[in-house]
Structure 1
Amino acid sequence: MIITVTLNPALDRTLEVPSFTPGRRHRSLDQRTIPGGKGVNVARVLKLLGQPVIATGIIGGATGTRIVEGLSDESVLTAFVRIREESRTNMAVLDPTTGMHTEINERGPAVTEHELEMLEEKLIYLAKGASICLFAGSLPRGLEPDTYARLLRAVRKLGVLTVVDTDGEPLKLAVRAEPDVVSPNELEAEDLAGREFEGPEDRAQAVVEITRQGPAEAIMTVPDGCYAYVRENGEQTLYRVAIEPLEAQSPIGSGDAFLAGYIAARYQGRSPVECLRFGVACGAESTQHVGAGILDPRTVERLLDGVVATPMSLPAEVI
């Protein structure tokens, strides 16, 4: 079983608005409302890929009920903890004429220590029957920045493989808790490394440096694939994995689709490089759909032939 933990889930509403211009009145061409939040998006893709997954986290109010009902409609198992305050709603505006998208995300509810303790208790119970646990997304109000680190340590004691995808101070504290895998995007990786990246070698060096902060493996997603420093045959190996970019309908959630593909392949016991290739194919295919966490598994398989994984030499600065 795979667990996804989303502490700040949402209802994600995407509007297609041709020639969107701030300050003007518009009519949407199309709209879609689905359960969202990083971990929820990953759970959706895992289900589409045929993997056993259960989504847990924190929900509240009528919006929380709609999140659970939406996931149930997609046959995703859920085990959320209910809180007093209302879950959030996020809005994205996609302009099909330019491909530009604008996101407006609510902060989310305030969560008490007692509510977090209830989640931790449920998570430990679920983790006893799981082999992989993903912690993903932002933290709602009221939770300390070390919340993911705290939950991660509790799950690691049970021998569960842990994966983290968040940002800011929660990410910095989570990597110190020594997760098995951390998967930032380029901006999040720059924040961890404390500098802007200037080229491929600098990006490759960064993923190696990130593992020195605590995680066993680091994967940095970029628009056409990823840079990864992973354990293979008992040794750490550096990879650049890439695919020819597709003309995107919407890039929203492509990183979540990548991570879901990677986790699905890892759950199936594929080699590290095949996990990365499958993740990149999933991320690329998801850009062909409006709405996060949407892809066609059959198209993913066809895209795999175009995903190239290239081993890289370790930068001299980090040897």
Structure 2
Amino acid sequence: MVITVTLNPALDKTLIIDNFKLGDVNRVIGVRYDIGGKGINVSKVLKNLDIDSLATGFLGGIFKDTFERELDKRKISHHFITINGDVRTNVKIIDNKNKLYTDINEAGPNITSEELNSFISFYSNQCQKGDLVVLSGGIPIGIPKDIYGTLTRIAKEKGALVILDAEGSFLDEGIKEKPFAIKPNIYELSLLCGMKPEEVDEKKIIKGAISIKKKGVNSILISMGSLGAVYVTDNGIYTSKALKVPVKNTVGAGDSMVAALVYSLINNLDDMDTLSFAQACGGATVSLEGTKACTKEQVEELLPQSKKNVRRV
């Protein structure tokens, strides 16, 4: 079974504006709403790739029913712990003219110790030998910064593989428990390795990934946007150029690449095909509006181009 954990879900509201002007009246020419949060985004993509998952985490407030109805509509299994607080709303502003993408993200609700304990109890009971567990995204107020380390340890004790996608101290604490794979972006990896994001290049990224691998992480997939991607595994080091696709929105691209890692593990893809598939998933996602999940057909359309971009270092 695949389990995706979203501790801080969000209703994503995407506003499309022709020429966004700060401090002025802006006319919206398009709007869409999507249930989101990184783990939920992974589940949405996995469903489109014909892989079932169990989505879990916390839900509460006026949007709780909206999330559950949408997940049911997509036939995604789910069990979220009900909380007293409200699910947050994130606003995404897409400036069509200037090709600028602005995120305004709320912090999220306060999670009580009782709510957290209920989740950990459910999560521990769900994890089984052979499961793939995806831990991704930020965390709401009231949850300790070592939560991903705790959840990684629980899953591993049950015999499950963990893929971690987080940032800052949450990623650092999670790595201490040696998840199977991590998927940082170039900014997150830079911070993790003590580098300045604006000064990194492919060689420095590879060096940083190797240093993390020595800490016990089997695979590191680094998404680098227009610079491409790097994939470091037990078998070698692989790089890929970025796909040339029309960029409509960057939110969710990393989540699609995490879904690609899950897909690759389930379907026993080799490392080069894994990176090709991940890049195709990411490329398909950025060409869509909002946090809409890419389809298998859209990914397969980009695969021939993606495979040509991958090389072993």
If the length of structure 1 is used for normalisation, what is the TM-score?
0.93
More deviation, 13-22/213-222 = 213-222
More deviation, 135-144/218-227 = 218-227
The Cα shift of 1:214 comes to 3.6
Task: Give runs of aligned pairs for residues 108-119 of structure 1, distance below 5 A.
Answer: 108-119=108-119
Q: Secondary structure at the match of 1:101?
A: strand
Quote the Cα distance in structure 2 between the aligned partners of 1:54 and 1:286.
22
For residues 116-150 of structure 1, give each alpha carbon's deviation from its aligned partner in whole angstroms, at most 9, with x where no partner exists.
11111111222227620000000100011001111
Query: In the alignment, what sits opposite 2:166?
Result: 166
Q: Give, as a single letter, the amino acid of the residue that structure 2 aligns with 1:226.
A: A
**Unmatched segments (≥5 aa) in structure 2:** none
Q: Is the 8 A contact 1:261 1:275 kept in 2?
A: yes
Query: In the alignment, what sits opposite 1:7?
Result: 7
Query: In the alignment, what sits opposite 1:297?
Result: 296
Q: Give, as a single letter, the amino acid of the residue that structure 1 aligns with 2:230.
A: Y
Inter-CA distance 293–261: structure 2 relative to 1 (3 Å threshold) = farther
Q: Secondary structure at the match of 1:79?
A: strand
Quote the Cα distance in structure 2 between the aligned partners of 1:161 and 1:272.
17
Quote the Cα distance in structure 2 between the aligned partners of 1:29 and 1:285.
23
Quote the Cα distance in structure 1 between the aligned partners of 2:232 and 2:248.
30
Query: In the alignment, what sits opposite 1:212?
Result: 214
The Cα shift of 1:200 comes to 1.7
For residues 162-201 of structure 1, give each alpha carbon's deviation from its aligned partner in whole angstroms, at most 9, with x where no partner exists.
0000111111100111000011000000011001243221
Query: In the alignment, what sits opposite 1:107?
Result: 107
% identical equivalent positions = 27
Count of paired positions: 308
Quote the Cα distance in structure 2 between the aligned partners of 1:185 and 1:129.
29
For residues 222-263 of structure 1, give each alpha carbon's deviation from its aligned partner in whole angstroms, at most 9, with x where no partner exists.
11431111123xxxx111123432121112211111111221
If the length of structure 2 is used for normalisation, what is the TM-score?
0.94
More deviation, 104-113/215-224 = 215-224
Query: In the alignment, what sits opposite 1:315?
Result: none
Quote the Cα distance in structure 2 between the aligned partners of 1:56 and 1:129.
18
Query: In the alignment, what sits opposite 1:198?
Result: 200
The 4+ residue runs of structure 1 with deviation greater than 3 A are none
Q: Is the 8 A contact 1:3 1:130 kept in 2?
A: no
Q: Is the 8 A contact 2:34 2:292 kept in 1?
A: no
The Cα shift of 1:27 comes to 2.2
Coordinate RMSD, CA, aligned: 1.4
Query: In the alignment, what sits opposite 2:70?
Result: 70
Quote the Cα distance in structure 2 between the aligned partners of 1:134 and 1:113.
22
Quote the Cα distance in structure 1 between the aligned partners of 2:129 and 2:21.
50
Query: In the alignment, what sits opposite 1:80?
Result: 80
Q: Give, as a single letter, the amino acid of the residue that structure 1 aligns with 2:89.
A: T
The Cα shift of 1:203 comes to 1.4
The Cα shift of 1:109 comes to 0.5
